[in-house]
């Protein structure tokens, strides 16, 4: 007598987790440190990548996967003009990246020629937090014109990241953004979170961010290689 087995489909999120782990292994083998950059639309994801590429040219070889919900590739072109190896990922309306999209994108990249890979997620403060991509760190960019209440309204996004950039601090005098209120909200969700107040436009505060990227890249390089040797 044969017993019929019915396989229950894995949840989309657990299937995503498996692909994310494969992505991470592939990035580690190639010695690439990957950063998942998340933010609302207009916070400065592309600007931060562009500025970082220009400032670290000669020290790091940087790749960029730029995603948008359409075929508008102007942001990927900005990265390319700055000196990054860039790919534009058109999600055809989907509101977040998943690990499968990143697997397809990194298959098109010369990973051996890249030290740091920035993945510009879709501008959205909700679902990107739930979808792991296989990156080494997740960074959230907030910006002063968005308002200081975002940690209170989007707690999952703030609690799940490894670093926070507060962009457009040059506009602080022209907004009602209360840095103390904002920081209290962040601290309650993610105590001790590495935070980088800066302005991509004026360059103010950028040095600490650049050092963080450099030190993360070096750390991943040393420990990544050490793990492979064991």
- Interface contacts to Zn ion, rule CB under 5 A: 95-96, 127
- Of 38 and 169, which has the nearer Cβ to Zn ion? 38
Q: How many residues bind Mg ion (CB under 5 A)?
A: 3
The answer to whether 26 touches 126, Cβ cutoff 8 Å, is no
| Contact residues for 73 (Cβ-Cβ < 8 A; gap 6+) | 66, 88, 90
Range in contact with Mg ion (rule: CB under 5 A) among 16-24, 26-34, 38-46, 195-203? 38-46
Torsional sign, CA 100, 103, 109, 113: positive
CA-closest candidate to residue 140, choices 13, 43, 55? 43
| In the complex, minimum distance from the CB of residue 226 to Mg ion, in angstroms, rounded to a whole number | 35
Helix (H) or strand (E) holding 215: helix 206-229
Residue 86 interface partner, choices Mg ion, Zn ion, none, CB cut-off 5-8 Å depending on type: none
Residue 210 interface partner, choices Zn ion, Mg ion, none, CB cut-off 5-8 Å depending on type: none
| In the complex, minimum distance from the CB of residue 91 to Zn ion, in angstroms, rounded to a whole number | 9
| In the complex, minimum distance from the CB of residue 207 to Mg ion, in angstroms, rounded to a whole number | 23
| Contact residues for 59 (Cβ-Cβ < 8 A; gap 6+) | 214
What is the rounded CA–CA span in Å between residue 198 and residue 207? Answer: 9
Residue 75 interface partner, choices Mg ion, Zn ion, none, CB cut-off 5-8 Å depending on type: Mg ion
Place of tokens 């670093």: 163
Q: How many CB atoms lie within 10 A of CB 91?
A: 16
| In the complex, minimum distance from the CB of residue 189 to Zn ion, in angstroms, rounded to a whole number | 21
Over the window 52 to 91, marking each residue x when it contacts Mg ion by CB under 5 A and - when it does not, the resulting string is -----------------------x----------------
> CA dihedral defined by 87, 88, 89, 92, rounded to 10 degrees?
-160
Residue 127 interface partner, choices Mg ion, Zn ion, none, CB cut-off 5-8 Å depending on type: Zn ion
| In the complex, minimum distance from the CB of residue 171 to Zn ion, in angstroms, rounded to a whole number | 28
What is the spatial order of strands in the sheet that 194-197 belongs to? Answer: 85-90, 62-68, 116-120, 33-39, 137-143, 163-167, 194-197
- Of 19 and 101, which has the nearer Cβ to Mg ion? 101
Binding of residue 46 to Mg ion (CB under 5 A): yes
| In the complex, minimum distance from the CB of residue 40 to Zn ion, in angstroms, rounded to a whole number | 13
Judged by the rule CB under 5 A, the positions of this chain that interact with Mg ion are 45-46, 75
């Amino acid at each position: 007598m044969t017993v019929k087995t019915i396989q229950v489909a894995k949840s989309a999120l657990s299937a995503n987790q498996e692909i994310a782990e494969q992505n991470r292994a592939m990035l580690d083998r190639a010695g690439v440190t990957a950063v998942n950059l998340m933010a609302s639309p207009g916070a400065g994801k592309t600007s931060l990548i562009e500025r970082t590429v220009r400032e670290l040219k000669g020290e790091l070889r940087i790749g960029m996967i730029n995603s948008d919900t359409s075929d508008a590739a102007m942001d990927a072109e900005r990265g390319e003009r700055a000196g990054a190896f860039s790919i534009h990922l058109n999600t055809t309306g989907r509101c977040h990246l998943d690990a499968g999209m990143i697997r397809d994108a990194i298959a098109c990249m010369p990973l051996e020629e890249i030290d740091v890979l920035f993945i510009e997620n879709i501008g959205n403060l909700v679902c990107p937090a739930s979808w792991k991509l296989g990156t080494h760190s997740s960074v959230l960019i907030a910006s002063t014109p968005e308002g200081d209440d975002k940690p209170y309204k989007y707690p999952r996004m703030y609690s799940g990241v490894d670093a926070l950039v507060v962009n457009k601090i040059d506009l602080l005098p022209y907004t009602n953004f209360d840095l103390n209120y904002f920081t209290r909200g962040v601290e309650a969700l993610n105590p001790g979170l590495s935070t980088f107040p800066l302005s991509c436009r004026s360059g103010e505060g950028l040095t600490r961010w650049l050092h963080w990227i450099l030190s993360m890249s070096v750390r991943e390089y040393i420990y990544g290689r050490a793990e492979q040797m064991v």
